[in-house]
Amino acid sequence: MSNYNFAYLDEQTKRMIRRAILKGLAIPGYQVPFASREMPMPYGWGTGGVQVSAAVLTPEDTFKVIDQGADDTTNAVSIRTFFERTAGVETTTATCDATVIQTRHRIPEEALQEGQILVYQVPIPEPLRFLEPRESETRKMHSLEEYGLMHVKLYEDISRHGHIATSYAYPVKVEGRYVMDPSPIPKFDNPKLGDMAAIQLFGAGREQRIYALPPYTQVVSLDFEDHPFEASKADHPCGMCGATDSYLDELIVDDAGGRMFVCSDTDYCEARQAAGHKGKDAA
Amino acid sequence: MQAAPLSGGFANTATQSAHAFRSVMEAMARPGTIQDIEGASPPAPLSPAAGAVLLTLCDTETPVYLAGEMDCDAVRSWLSFHTGAPFVGPAQCMFAVGIWDALGPLSIYPIGTSEYPDRSTTLIVDSAGLSASGAKLKGPGIKDYAALFLPELEAFQANNLLFPLGLDFIFTKGSELAALPRSTQISRLDSKAGAQVGAS
Amino acid sequence: MYVAVKGGERAIENAHAWLAEERRGDKGVAELGVAQIREQLALSVNRVMAEGSLYDPDLAALAIKQARGDLIEAIFLIRAYRTTLPRFGASEPVDTGAMACDRRISATFKDLPGGQVLGPTFDYTHRLLDFKLAADGEVAEAPSREAAAGDVPHVTDFLNREGLIEQAPHDDTPPPDLTREPLEMPADRALRLQALTRADEGFTLGLAYSTQRGYGRNHAFVGELRIGSVPVEMDIPELGFAVEVGEVTLTECETVNQFTGSKTEPPQFTRGYGLVFGQTERKAISMALVDRALRWEELGEDNVGAPAQDAEFVLYHADNIQATGFLEHIKLPHYVDFQSELELVRKLRREAGVDQVAEAAE
């Protein structure tokens, strides 16, 4: 890969992305259009996150990639290898050692610190898209702060099911202005979005949008007074480390349909196990 | 004697602009903090920090307005050679550079549209006094409060009221910079409180 | 006992090694050369160049070889390569009137200046498998004659002279660049045409076909279809004039569409336009039909709600690299979202009073 520029992208492309990131930070929650480039991995596989990471990385960074909270899922491995090769950056699986973390579908359990940057891969950045497929319409709705449709949808859930039936990609309102899609993180992670010490950047490659949350930004999950937002997870402790406060994956462990629950954040789980915590399924 | 237009750019564009961008990004993400920025040696009156910001963000796709004394042959030819940015008037610019007194009034710059609030000018206010004291800042990027020296209050307060439209500012001096996005609310610092307000 | 899934890296490497082996196939069979693909699978090469937005037959042939003949995968390789190339500048607009035509037909006039030239076409071949080709593909030289001198005029110019077709005034406004700026709605015609020329052939064909079947019907005739090479010139500022930097083969289709007039326009013929890299006839005609359908608004026609009239629908879904990536990404793990859905469905079922037994058994 030595024929390619540092972090793969050419400098002009990086400048374009960097300008979009700055505007995103200046207007938290607003989706900045950017001329996403074709990347050497398919659209939908993290091209937005990869372009944002490429635009922020310096050679001194330590980079971590997670998919579903795990460092060892195949696409996380693939993206990590890509930056090892093209940017020569050090990589890590330890959340606390990373300066830039690219993620798909999770926010690490461990609280992030100042000096860290969390880059999200976003498939559909428009929170109103499934209510209104037309970009020209949703853009108008954002400009007019016309979010009634979203509230109607959530309220229909309540009248049908007794509560809001959105379990991931749960919409949030940023600084009382823009309704934002937090990417398909489980709603369990939503409370971590606000007041975070780290910078959060969101990249949607195919949809050509970048948006951002500066540190300590006010982020509120949409809800109703009589139906307040509730962050939920499987009501079990982790089978490996015994954690009761982490988001869990459910695994089928035998032909009889036996199940166990394990932290989706592999680094968190391993660190707890190394510190001597043990769940009921641990060897 | 001015630096020749061919010199004073980034020697290693990819890594130097990556570092410079991180400084700008940290500054924009954490209003009131002061960041180091290095790598550029532009001709006077452009400060090294302002030069580095321009090298990092500008190219043929970004119209630049040179305000007041910035609009001189030395700066023009240096910027042309290193970025290729076209020079335009304030109404068309994506970036404007100058000292505070030369940049105003702020009403001459694009503040974005309600559908595209990002299509607004970023002003690089050069040679401003840079210190984490002065006006009191509150808003995204700031834990509790921050403080920053601002050349005046009213213009920035008025700009904040335009949110989500508005201008974004980068203050540069020597090899340091700070930033003030449109999202920051500004008030006069209470006497005494300044001591506790760190650049968080 | 649960063991966390590890070794993703080795699994990926092994999969890639296996893929390389499968690409090569039986080693007892001679390896396919890039030049063979370029010369003998030229229409595949053309499609890859057109939808990859990069005119380079050798690279396109290489991409086809690497992609095991999967053309969308080959297009993806070309796009990913293209995006890393530095831009030296923009060429002058090519003049298709000066095209050295290999093929030029009109469905609207039996004969016309420049003549009807069939060229190397599948039209009128009987689609019978040629079993001789399985053993021996050598062919005798085709008859030839001197090319006629002079430019070949556009058919629409003749109609224009009579004032029967809508005006298409010359316009030197630089078009937006889809590859450098994010797609924005509403998209003007230049931007739409840019998106359509690199759009998926199958998608464009399907849309065009739907207009013929009544979903936004616009009665298209192929006024002219021409295929041939045109010189590409670039203005060199240091020299102060344009120099020829190369030559590309293009397919151009101009449709003449019946039009009885609208609230804003008089009765006249209207135009649809297709221009595509290489010999890519099906694509160029499809493009012209879809272009015409998308023009309903500027011609003051009614929006009948047809898919081909809907610029947002067409432009946001026409790119096969975007489409295939997003479609195939559902292969990636979605444990986390699925888990939160599992919890939700269980909760809803519990509340609805079903499934208590299964949940209790856990």
Edge-to-edge strands of the sheet including A219-221?
A: A178-180, A172-174, A219-221
pLDDT for A89 equals 96
pLDDT exceeds 60 at position C208? yes
Positions of A marked active-site: 29, 238, 241, 263, 269
What integer is the mean pLDDT of A244-253?
A: 92
The verdict on A248 touching C (C-beta cutoff 8 Å) is yes
Question: A165 near C348, Cβ under 8 Å?
Answer: yes
- Dmax (CA) for chain C in angstroms is 87
Instruction: Give the distance from residue C50's alpha carbon to the nearest chain A alpha carbon, in angstroms.
Output: 16
Q: CA angle, corner B60, sides to B54 and B61, nearest 5?
A: 90
Reduced to 3 states (helix: H, G, I; strand: E, B; else coil), residue C340 is: helix
Secondary structure percentages of chain B, helix, strand, coil, to 5: 30, 20, 50
Instruction: Set out the domains of chain B in order of their start, with CATH numbers.
Output: 13-199 (3.40.50.11310)
Kindly state the average pLDDT of the residues A123-147: 94
Nearest C-alpha of chain A: how many angstroms from B184? 9
| pLDDT for residue B125 is more than 70 | yes
**Mutation site, C200, C316, C332, interface A, largest A CB count within 10 A:** C332
Helix C320-328 / helix C201-212 crossing angle, nearest 10 deg: 110
Chain C, 104 to 143: residues with Cβ < 8 Å from chain A are: none
Q: Among positive and negative, which fits the CA dihedral A26, A29, A34, A36?
A: positive
Contact A7 B163 (CB under 8 A): no
The predicted pLDDT at position A256 comes to 86
Question: Average pLDDT in the C349-356 region?
Answer: 76
Q: Which of C1, C3, C316, C339 to mutate to probe the A interface, most A CBs <10 Å?
A: C339
pLDDT in tens, A103-126: 999 999 999 999 999 999 999 999
**Res. B41: pLDDT tops 80:** yes
Choose the weakest-confidence range: A106-110, A263-267, C208-212, C234-238: C234-238
Rounded average pLDDT over B26-50: 96
A105 touches chain C (CB under 8 A): yes
Q: What is the pLDDT of residue A9?
A: 92
Per the model's pLDDT, the better-predicted residue between C168 and B124 turns out to be B124
Residue A170 has pLDDT above 90, yes or no: yes
Q: Are A87 and A7 in contact (CB under 8 A)?
A: yes
Q: How far apart are CA A187 and CA A171, in angstroms?
A: 9
Which pLDDT belongs to residue C167? 87
Confidence (pLDDT) at C23: 96
The answer to whether C11 contacts chain A (CB < 8 Å) is yes
**Model pTM score:** 0.90
pLDDT (tens digit per residue) in A48-99? 999 999 999 999 999 999 999 999 888 899 999 999 999 999 999 999 999 9
Helix-, strand-, coil-residue percentages of chain C, each rounded to 5 = 40, 15, 45
State the average pLDDT for chain A.
Answer: 93
Phi-psi sector, A38: left (phi>0), alpha (psi -120 to 50), beta: beta
Which has the closest alpha carbon to C192: C273, C307, C300? C273
Q: What is the pLDDT of residues A220-236, one digit of tens each?
A: 999 998 889 988 888 89
Average pLDDT, stretch C202-207?
A: 98
Percent of chain B past pLDDT 70, that is, above it, reads: 92
> What's the mean pLDDT when you consider all of chain C?
90
| Nearest CB to A27 within list B58, B61, B183 | B183
d(C-alpha A48, C-alpha A37), whole Å: 9
Q: Which residues of C touch A93 (CB under 8 A)?
A: none
Q: Do A45 and C324 touch (CB under 8 A)?
A: no
**Residue A29: other Cβ atoms inside 10 A:** 26
Per domain, the residue ranges of chain C are 9-82, 96-324, 332-361
Q: Which of B8-12, C87-91, C96-100, C310-314 has the lowest mean pLDDT?
A: C87-91
Confidence band, pLDDT 50/70/90 cuts, at residue C267: confident
Among all residues of chain A, which has the CA nearest to that of C72?
A42
User: What average pLDDT score do residues C252-259 get?
Assistant: 92
pLDDT in tens, C127-149: 999 888 888 878 889 888 887 77
Q: Is the pLDDT of residue C3 over 50?
A: no
Q: What is the pLDDT of residues C16-28, one digit of tens each?
A: 999 999 999 999 9
Mind listing the pLDDT tens digit for each residue in A14-43? 999 999 999 999 999 999 999 999 899 999
Q: Give the E-state strand segments of chain A in sequence order.
A: 32-33, 62-67, 90-91, 100-104, 117-121, 172-174, 178-180, 199-204, 209-213, 219-221, 248-252, 259-263
Q: Is residue B32 within 8 angstroms of chain A, CB to CB?
A: no
Give CA–CA dist A23/B168, Å, rounded: 8
Is the confidence at residue C361, as pLDDT, over 50? no
What is the separation of C-alpha A202 from the centre of its chain, rounded to a whole number of angstroms? 7
Contact of B21 with A56, CB cutoff 8 Å = yes
What pLDDT score was predicted for residue A3? 66
Q: Tell me: pLDDT of B2 over 50.
A: no
Please indicate if any CB of chain C lies within 8 Å of the CB of A185. yes
Q: Which residue of C has its CA nearest to A32?
A: C182
Distance CA C86, CA A232 (A): 49
C partners (3+ CB pairs within 8 A) are A
Q: Is the pLDDT of residue C47 over 70?
A: yes
Q: Which of A209-218, A224-233, C143-152, C169-178 has the highest mean pLDDT?
A: A209-218
pLDDT band at C180 (very low <50, low <70, confident <90, very high): confident
pLDDT digits 0-9 by tens, C102-129: 999 999 888 888 889 999 999 998 899 9
Residue C5 has pLDDT above 60, yes or no: no
Ordered alpha helix ranges (H), chain A:
11-26, 47-56, 74-87, 135-143, 148-161, 190-193, 266-274
